[in-house]
């Protein structure tokens, strides 16, 4: 494909406000649960109140007497639901393959055991409460400690890490724990299922991956894929929790088919804690061996993560460990511990985020032992290539992230002595950590239509989960065609559109942008062909290669014509171009190691008199390729930093060890960062294009901003208090022990 000079403007990064902003502010953007269709009825599930055992009976008489209650579903009473028949990564994936009501066995608290459908939401809720359900209760496995692993797998290995560790002069050997975290986007999960002739389904769904959803749902409902349409136009975020289909979605569709009525089901905030995934608890042992100068000689990272009874979801904590630092000897192993808990799933920066908490905490502990500045220790161990596979990095500027961050933060003024930096009543703590996340590209398509009504439409079956995809696509088309933002229509979030990427793994932008640019280029070429060849065109007879397109006008030696005039006279509705992007996913044939990098600097203030801990400021420097639009990009990093403060200080789902119930299953008791907790956040992008990933050099910025925040924060807490927190979140009572 030809290079185009307009492109350079795009790639310098233009700050454009979100095109979907006004719709959202005016309440005109329809989220899934906003959808209403005539004849709509409501489903409310009843959930198991034990974590392990069996349903022995369900008495429905009282529920059935409630006016408006239509039907009650439970084990053996919901026909036509199956397990999915094929598992393909990112294409037909679910983290909960057991269809709802498949058997009467309970494997986790909150598992759906019945559903009441009624004419009104109130009647369905009353019906669900009126069910009398009895159980045969068994003692569940809910222990927090993870000694009995079900498997142990070597994830990465080089040299002899054990022997090198034994001989190392300086050692760190510590275990770090992270709790269950729950995604908790403000928009709840929801499904609205509408059938036509009982064999064609339209499913409105809060989904980060509509095409995957379509595939899985069609398999689980026993339908041809083309009979299922999944729509997800606007999302109130997802954080990974909305990547894969959950039971409520299959249940809603199957009930609607059985009942012959459209059905809506909205997951409650309580259900968000047991029915739609979470980040599982992890226990990670990190052993570092170094020489006196700080050179890493050995790195061992052995982790176990909790998982559910039926599925094998693993929190991939060793994700970043093998490539982040240079060391000749390394071993990363993983294990799973099965518990009677609901299936875990990807949560923003899955694996790398808890993994880097452990690794970067250990690096800080090593720096303290060595009396080497923690920034310096990272610089000493900067690798020349990805030592896990011998590949060069496509673009790695971690050193510069540290250097720029240190300068902006004022790191050289840091007194390393614990508790030595004071400001008023407070002791200041300064901490630092590295962050990293993979960069990949998925195969996808996009279509651009230059239309005679004066509009240009771009479409792709990807999603905007709040990250700015609508705006980025409009921006790319505008820079390519110059027709003005106001004339560009962006269509996303519908499986009838050209196949687009999942909104996950920070891959959507890097994947879809090349396809959109190619589509715009091809649409323009088609416009020139139409202009020069169609009998009634004002430019008939011109050579297509002599035509130019500027600011919405087709330019030739004969004069200028707006594209709408050309198309109207030619009697063509739209000049259409289709673009395609190829996958780049690493693997055997990879020539480069693709990753984003960053450095997080955190200042906390600890007031021991008041027992108050506060994050004052965060300086974050991110190397994520070329930034297309700095506004939503900065917004992503700021949001991720706020989430990182939540991870460091607040977030932890607590479970009753008798029943498995999340005891803080609401936003009053499950703490997330609030506005009052937000520090001053300074975001810098280094903006080096990663030309190996795509010729535009864009990677993605959704997840990396969360990585590194928690270990930088706990390093700062140590610097202020002398207390090393190795079990998240930081608790004030831990800090008062000294
Ligand atoms: Mo992200 S956990 O891939 O939505």
Dump pLDDT digits (tens) for 431-448: 999 999 999 999 999 999
Percent of the chain with pLDDT over 90: 92
240 lines ligand 1 (CB under 6 A): yes
- What gap in Å lies between CA 228 and CA 703, rounded to an integer? 31
The atom number, within ligand 1, closest to the CA of 239 reads 4
| 465 in Cβ contact with 636 (< 8 Å) | no
CB atoms within 10 A of CB 409: 24
Give the 3-state secondary structure of residue 399: helix
How many A from CA of 538 to the centre of ligand 1? 50
- Which DSSP string corresponds to 35-62? ---TT-EEEEEEE-SSSSEEEEEEE-HH
CA separation, residue 13 to residues 366, 485, 634 (Å): 39, 15, 12
How many A from CA of 507 to the centre of ligand 1? 9
209 lines ligand 1 (CB under 6 A): no
How many A from CA of 671 to the centre of ligand 1? 21
Q: Is the pLDDT of residue 11 over 60?
A: no
Report which secondary-structure segment, H or E, holds 221: none
- What gap in Å lies between CA 505 and CA 90, rounded to an integer? 10
- What gap in Å lies between CA 80 and CA 520, rounded to an integer? 43
What pLDDT does residue 666 have? 97
Of the candidates 629, 708, 713, 6, the one whose C-alpha atom is nearest the C-alpha of residue 357 is 708
Of the candidates 484, 492, 489, 486, the one whose C-alpha atom is nearest the C-alpha of residue 451 is 489
241 lines ligand 1 (CB under 6 A): no
What pLDDT does residue 6 have? 40
- What gap in Å lies between CA 259 and CA 266, rounded to an integer? 18
Of the candidates 550, 544, 541, 510, the one whose C-alpha atom is nearest the C-alpha of residue 527 is 544
Phi then psi for residue 101, to 5 deg, are 65, 25
Marked catalytic residue, from 365, 426, 449, 703? 703
Q: Is the pLDDT of residue 12 over 90?
A: no
344 lines ligand 1 (CB under 6 A): no
How many A from CA of 183 to the centre of ligand 1? 10
| 210 in Cβ contact with 463 (< 8 Å) | yes
Of the candidates 646, 629, 641, 660, the one whose C-alpha atom is nearest the C-alpha of residue 600 is 641
Hey, whose CA ends up nearest to atom 4 of ligand 1?
Answer: 240
Residue of 95, 243, 353, 596 to mutate, ligand 1, most atoms within 8 A of C-beta: 243
How many A from CA of 54 to the centre of ligand 1? 34
Of the candidates 254, 326, 201, 245, the one whose C-alpha atom is nearest the C-alpha of residue 71 is 254
504 lines ligand 1 (CB under 6 A): yes
Instruction: Give the pair of three-digit tokens for residue 328.
Output: 């000749």
- What gap in Å lies between CA 628 and CA 14, rounded to an integer? 7
Instruction: Give the pair of three-digit tokens for residue 487.
Output: 């004339």
Phi then psi for residue 736, to 5 deg, are -90, -5
Dump pLDDT digits (tens) for 238-284: 999 999 999 999 999 999 999 999 999 999 999 999 999 999 999 99
Q: Which residue has better confidence, 391 or 88?
A: 391
| 606 in Cβ contact with 720 (< 8 Å) | yes
What pLDDT does residue 738 have? 63
Q: Computed over its alpha carbons, how large is the radius of gyration of the chain?
A: 27
Crossing angle (nearest 10°) for helices 630-649 and 709-721: 50
Q: How sure is the predictor about 10, in pLDDT bands with cuts at 50, 70 and 90?
A: very low
Dump pLDDT digits (tens) for 174-225: 999 999 999 999 999 999 999 999 999 999 999 999 999 999 999 999 999 9
What pLDDT does residue 84 have? 96
Phi then psi for residue 572, to 5 deg, are -120, 130
The atom number, within ligand 1, closest to the CA of 348 reads 2
| 229 in Cβ contact with 203 (< 8 Å) | yes
State how far Cα 191 lies from the chain centre.
Answer: 20
346 lines ligand 1 (CB under 6 A): yes
Mean pLDDT of 64-90: 95
| 253 in Cβ contact with 193 (< 8 Å) | yes
Strand order in the sheet with 132-137: 105-106, 53-59, 132-137
CB atoms within 10 A of CB 145: 10
- Which DSSP string corresponds to 716-732? HHHHHHS----BSSP-H
- What gap in Å lies between CA 284 and CA 149, rounded to an integer? 13
Q: Is the pLDDT of residue 706 over 90?
A: yes
CA end-to-end span of the chain = 64
Residue of 701, 703, 705 to mutate, ligand 1, most atoms within 8 A of C-beta: 703
- What gap in Å lies between CA 678 and CA 244, rounded to an integer? 30
501 lines ligand 1 (CB under 6 A): no
- Does 729 sit behind a cis peptide bond, omega within 30 degrees of 0 on the bond before it? yes
What pLDDT does residue 157 have? 98
- What gap in Å lies between CA 481 and CA 582, rounded to an integer? 23
Dump pLDDT digits (tens) for 131-178: 999 999 999 999 988 875 666 899 999 999 999 999 999 999 999 999
- What gap in Å lies between CA 82 and CA 75, rounded to an integer? 13
| 463 in Cβ contact with 433 (< 8 Å) | no
Q: Which residue has better confidence, 384 or 1?
A: 384
Residues 6 or more apart from 219 whose CB is under 8 A from it? 82, 84, 85, 86, 92
Of the candidates 694, 700, 704, the one whose C-alpha atom is nearest the C-alpha of residue 597 is 704
- Identify whether 703 is a catalytic site residue: yes
Dump pLDDT digits (tens) for 709-735: 999 999 999 999 999 999 999 999 999
What pLDDT does residue 149 have? 65
- What gap in Å lies between CA 45 and CA 189, rounded to an integer? 14
How many A from CA of 477 to the centre of ligand 1? 26
Dump pLDDT digits (tens) for 551-604: 999 999 888 999 999 999 999 999 999 999 999 877 777 899 999 999 999 999
The atom number, within ligand 1, closest to the CA of 505 reads 3
What is the average pLDDT value for the chain, to the nearest integer?
A: 95
The residue with tokens 């009282």 is 62
Mean pLDDT of 596-621: 97
DSSP structural state of residue 280? P
Q: How sure is the predictor about 8, in pLDDT bands with cuts at 50, 70 and 90?
A: very low
Alpha helices in 131-262 (DSSP H): 161-167, 210-220, 247-259
| 614 in Cβ contact with 604 (< 8 Å) | yes
The atom number, within ligand 1, closest to the CA of 346 reads 2
The atom number, within ligand 1, closest to the CA of 506 reads 3
Q: How many residues does the chain have?
A: 738
The atom number, within ligand 1, closest to the CA of 242 reads 4
Strand partners, 303: 284, 334
505 lines ligand 1 (CB under 6 A): yes
Percent of the chain with pLDDT over 70: 98
598 lines ligand 1 (CB under 6 A): no
Strand-strand pairing, 595-607 and 426-438: antiparallel
Mean pLDDT of 86-114: 95
Dump pLDDT digits (tens) for 291-330: 999 999 999 999 999 999 999 999 999 999 999 999 999 9
The residue with tokens 């992890």 is 282
- What gap in Å lies between CA 331 and CA 329, rounded to an integer? 7
- What gap in Å lies between CA 225 and CA 229, rounded to an integer? 8
How many A from CA of 239 to the centre of ligand 1? 5
Q: Is the pLDDT of residue 5 over 60?
A: no
Q: What angle do CA 135, 275, 177 make, to 5 degrees?
A: 105
CA separation, residue 30 to residues 24, 118, 235, 265, 620 (Å): 8, 23, 9, 16, 34
Q: How sure is the predictor about 13, in pLDDT bands with cuts at 50, 70 and 90?
A: low
What pLDDT does residue 1 have? 37
| 291 in Cβ contact with 277 (< 8 Å) | no
Q: Is the pLDDT of residue 634 over 60?
A: yes
243 lines ligand 1 (CB under 6 A): yes
CB-count burial class (<10 Å; 0-12, 13-18, 19+) for 223: middle
Of the candidates 682, 687, 731, 653, the one whose C-alpha atom is nearest the C-alpha of residue 183 is 653
């Amino acid at each position: 494909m030809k290079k185009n000079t307009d492109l350079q403007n795009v790639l310098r990064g233009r700050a454009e406000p979100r095109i979907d902003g006004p719709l959202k502010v005016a309440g005109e953007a329809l989220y899934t649960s906003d959808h209403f269709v005539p004849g709509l009825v409501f489903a409310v599930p009843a959930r198991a109140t034990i974590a392990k055992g069996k349903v022995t009976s369900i008495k429905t008489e009282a529920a059935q007497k409630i006016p408006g209650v239509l039907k009650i579903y439970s084990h053996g009473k919901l026909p036509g639901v199956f397990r999915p028949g094929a598992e393909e990564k990112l294409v037909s994936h679910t983290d909960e393959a057991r269809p709802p009501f498949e058997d009467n066995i309970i494997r986790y608290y909150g598992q759906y055991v019945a559903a009441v459908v009624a004419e009104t939401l109130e009647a369905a809720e009353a019906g669900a409460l009126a069910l009398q359900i009895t159980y045969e209760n068994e003692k569940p496995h809910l222990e927090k400690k993870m000694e009995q692993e079900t498997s142990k797998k070597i994830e990465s290995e080089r040299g002899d890490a054990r022997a090198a560790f034994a001989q190392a002069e300086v050692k760190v050997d510590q275990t770090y724990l992270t709790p269950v975290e729950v995604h908790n986007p403000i928009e709840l999960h929801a499904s609205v299922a509408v059938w036509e002739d009982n064999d064609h389904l339209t499913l409105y769904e809060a989904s980060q991956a509509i095409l995957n959803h379509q595939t899985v749902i069609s398999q689980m409902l026993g339908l041809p894929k083309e009979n299922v349409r999944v729509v997800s136009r606007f999302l109130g975020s997802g954080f990974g929790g909305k990547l894969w289909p959950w039971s409520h979605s299959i249940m809603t569709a199957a009930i609607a088919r059985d009942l012959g009525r459209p059905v809506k089901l909205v997951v409650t905030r309580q259900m968000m804690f047991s029915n739609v995934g979470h980040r599982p608890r992890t226990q990670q042992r990190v052993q570092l061996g170094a020489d006196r100068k700080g050179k890493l000689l050995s790195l061992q990272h052995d982790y176990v993560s909790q998982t559910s009874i039926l599925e094998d979801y693993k929190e991939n904590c060793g994700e970043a460990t093998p490539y982040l630092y240079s060391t000749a000897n390394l071993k990363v192993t993983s294990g799973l511990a099965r518990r009677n808990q609901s299936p875990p799933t990807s949560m923003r920066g899955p694996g790398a985020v808890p993994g880097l908490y452990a690794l970067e905490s250990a690096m800080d502990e090593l720096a303290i032992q060595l009396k080497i500045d923690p920034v310096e220790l990272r610089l000493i161990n900067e690798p020349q290539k990805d030592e896990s596979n011998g590949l060069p990095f496509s673009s790695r500027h971690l050193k510069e992230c540290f250097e720029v961050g240190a300068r902006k933060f004022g790191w050289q003024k840091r007194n390393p002595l614990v508790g030595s930096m004071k400001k008023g009543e407070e002791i200041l703590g300064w901490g630092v950590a590295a962050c990293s996340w993979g960069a990949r590209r998925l195969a996808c398509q996009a279509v651009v239509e230059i239309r005679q009504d004066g509009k240009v439409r771009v479409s792709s079956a990807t999603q905007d989960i709040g990250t700015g995809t609508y705006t980025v696509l409009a921006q790319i088309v505008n820079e390519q065609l110059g027709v003005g933002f106001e004339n560009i229509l962006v269509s996303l979030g519908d499986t009838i559109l050209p196949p687009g990427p999942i909104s996950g793994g920070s891959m959507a932008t890097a994947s879809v942008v090349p396809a959109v640019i190619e589509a715009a280029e091809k649409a323009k070429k088609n416009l020139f062909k139409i202009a020069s060849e169609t009998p009634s065109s004002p430019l008939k007879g011109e050579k297509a290669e002599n035509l130019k397109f500027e600011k919405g006008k087709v330019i030739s030696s004969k004069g200028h014509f707006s594209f709408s005039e050309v198309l109207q006279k030619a009697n063509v509705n739209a000049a259409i171009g289709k673009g395609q992007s190829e996958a780049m996913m690493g693997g055997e044939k990879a020539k480069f190691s693709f990753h984003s990098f960053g450095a997080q600097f955190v200042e906390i203030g600890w007031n021991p008199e008041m027992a108050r801990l506060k994050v004052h400021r965060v300086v974050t420097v991110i190397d994520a390729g070329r930034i297309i639009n700095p506004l939503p990009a900065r917004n992503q990093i700021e949001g991720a930093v706020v989430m990182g403060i939540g991870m460091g200080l607040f977030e932890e789902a607590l479970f009753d060890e008798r029943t498995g119930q999340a005891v803080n299953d609401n936003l009053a008791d499950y703490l997330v960062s609030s506005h009052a907790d937000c520090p001053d956040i300074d975001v810098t992008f280094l903006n080096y294009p990663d030309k190996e990933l795509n010729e535009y050099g864009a990677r993605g910025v959704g997840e990396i901003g969360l990585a590194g925040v928690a270990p930088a924060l706990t390093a700062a807490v140590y610097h202020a208090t002398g207390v090393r927190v190795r079990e998240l979140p930081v608790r004030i009572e831990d800090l008062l022990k000294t």
